[in-house]
Amino acid sequence: MRSNLHFDKEDLLAKDKAHAMHPWHEFGRGEHTLLADSEGIYVVDTEGNKYIDGIGGMWAVQIGYGNEEMAQAIADQVRRMVYYSPWSMATPPHAELSAKLATLTPGDLNRFFYSTGGSTANDSAIRFVHFYFNVMEQPEKKHIITREDAYHGSTYLAASICGKPGNDDRMELVKDFIHHIPSPNPYRRPDGMSEEEFKDAKVKDLEDKILEVGPEKVACFIAEPVLASGGVIVPPKGYQAGCLEVCRKYNVLYISDEVVTGFGRMGHFFASEPVFDIVPDIITAAKGFTSGYIPAGLTAISEKLHQDVIDKAGETATFSNGFTYSGHPVAMAAALKNIEIMERDHIMEHARDVGDYFQEKLKSLADLPMVGDVRGVGIMGCVECVSNKTTKEAFAKELELGKRLDQKCQEYGLILRPFMHLCVFSPPIIITKKQVDDMVAIMDRSIREVADDLVREGVWDGKD
Ligand SMILES: Cc1ncc(COP(=O)(O)O)c(C=O)c1O
């Protein structure tokens, strides 16, 4: 890391506060930590404090920070050909990446549309589904089924298919063709119900909703294999495959949102088939697709759907959806380099090995005060805090427990992602076992100290 970087922290914070609006902008919010430097799995603030990045930027920086080879690939592409309209021209990295992806995707998902992130990837997927059924002369097939606790993005349409609490707080959302079914969260299943029974019940929720809306009206089901931002909710085994079977029965397309689970977090480029046993109709990806070095989104569509359009409407049929930066050559070059690094350095094998270790270590937090559930898969996990382990009652929202834990962890050199009473982890996938130990040790200490603080402040009885 560079020791010669100097910043006027006060000046920058004042500018940020006066003019910048961050995602989920809080109108009265005070300071953000100012990050100025990074290397490997670490980020450094403007005062030189170093933190383990427990969230990989935001589920994104898979190959770690400061990768010189990636920086060079991006610089080379900028110098050669920074940009040209993807409507009228193709570029070598655009073509090469598409061919490469076709060797990595499951089944016949061999057609790739590019955008600028996960929201636009999902938005484009749904626009394609609507277009598809119009072409198929089934224009009534417009309805989308999604789930509570889902997160799919922040364009108008992507936001409307989210189901995370708070997502709709005084916001307008599309409602007339979007339906939510319950979250497949095993921790919150009814007492006495087995995981298998719970799986069957959650698959049935999908079938019931399709029948309620009418199969002739339901176009698609969209699902993250693991509900990431909703709190790393890992559905019971067999859930995804059961849902796909129901979709097939009613001619409902299945969109697997792999914005988080793709590109290594589960130890595979795409987790749908090897981890969750499904070959969906469409997969979306972003974030780890370029390891966060350049914004990019991916919508992978099955060859069958593509061919159906040609068969029905001819080769002049046009999918009128695209962005100025679709297939941006620099993003394409970054994605290609990302894949090259991951393959050459055996990052998938590393992720599978460290992923198992990460899950095992995280579980060691389960008996600490306040910890109701520790869950995860691959290199992503969540610690859910509750005020009572028997009743699973959450802490009062005003306590902002996740934020308190994040602040405490930052004091000891770790950044996590707080959401209400949940602490989410998704470090860069190059993380080593020793670094996992460091991370979990900080979390362990912070949980104990925050629990003691709550008791001392008289806001918790300490009897969980
Ligand atoms: C599963 C999932 N899908 C979509 C998105 C939206 O991606 P973006 O913020 O790049 O638009 C996110 C973002 O966190 C996500 O977690």
Mean pLDDT of all residues in 210-220? 98
Whether residue 3 is contained in a domain is answered as: no
Reported confidence tier of residue 116, pLDDT bands at 50, 70, 90: very high
Is residue 324 domain-shared with residue 415, that is, in the same domain? Answer: no
Mean pLDDT of all residues in 306-329? 97
Q: Dump pLDDT digits (tens) for 191-207.
A: 999 999 999 999 999 99
> Is 123 close to ligand 1, i.e. is its CB under 6 Å away?
no
Residue 406 CA, ligand 1 centroid: distance in Å: 21
Question: Closest Cα partner for 404 from 416, 392, 394?
Answer: 416
Is residue 340 domain-shared with residue 350, that is, in the same domain? Answer: no
> Is 231 close to ligand 1, i.e. is its CB under 6 Å away?
no
Question: Closest Cα partner for 107 from 287, 244, 214, 2?
Answer: 244
Whether residue 197 is contained in a domain is answered as: yes
> Is 184 close to ligand 1, i.e. is its CB under 6 Å away?
no
Whether residue 464 is contained in a domain is answered as: no
User: Where in the sequence is the domain holding 400, given as residue range(s)?
Assistant: 9-66+346-456
Is residue 309 domain-shared with residue 257, that is, in the same domain? Answer: yes
Count the domains in the chain: 2
Counting from 1 in the atom list of ligand 1, the atom nearest the Cα of 150 is 1
Mean pLDDT of all residues in 218-223? 98
Is residue 129 domain-shared with residue 164, that is, in the same domain? Answer: yes
Q: How many CB atoms lie within 10 A of CB 97?
A: 27
Asked if pLDDT for residue 105 goes beyond 90, the answer is: yes
Counting from 1 in the atom list of ligand 1, the atom nearest the Cα of 258 is 1
Reported confidence tier of residue 30, pLDDT bands at 50, 70, 90: confident
Q: Indicate the residue among 344, 366, 401 that finishes a domain.
A: 344
Mean pLDDT of all residues in 325-335? 98
Is residue 165 domain-shared with residue 262, that is, in the same domain? Answer: yes
For residue 250, the domain's CATH number is 3.40.640.10
Give the helix ranges, DSSP H, for 118-194. Answer: 118-135, 156-160
Whether residue 276 is contained in a domain is answered as: yes
Is residue 147 domain-shared with residue 40, that is, in the same domain? Answer: no
Helices (H) and strands (E) in the chain, counts: 13, 15
C-alpha 219/C-alpha 242 separation (Å) is 18
> Is 183 close to ligand 1, i.e. is its CB under 6 Å away?
no
Q: Indicate the residue among 309, 324, 344 that finishes a domain.
A: 344
Q: Dump pLDDT digits (tens) for 44-57.
A: 999 999 999 999 99
Reported confidence tier of residue 326, pLDDT bands at 50, 70, 90: very high
Asked if pLDDT for residue 413 goes beyond 90, the answer is: yes
Mutate which of 284, 287, 323 for ligand 1? The one with the most ligand atoms within 8 Å of its CB, which is: 287
Q: Dump pLDDT digits (tens) for 122-180.
A: 999 999 999 999 999 999 999 999 999 999 999 999 999 999 988 888 999 999 999 99
Reported confidence tier of residue 3, pLDDT bands at 50, 70, 90: low
Reported confidence tier of residue 332, pLDDT bands at 50, 70, 90: very high
C-alpha 371/C-alpha 376 separation (Å) is 14
User: Cβ contacts of residue 401 below 8 Å, gap of 6+?
Assistant: 370, 385, 395, 418, 420, 421, 450
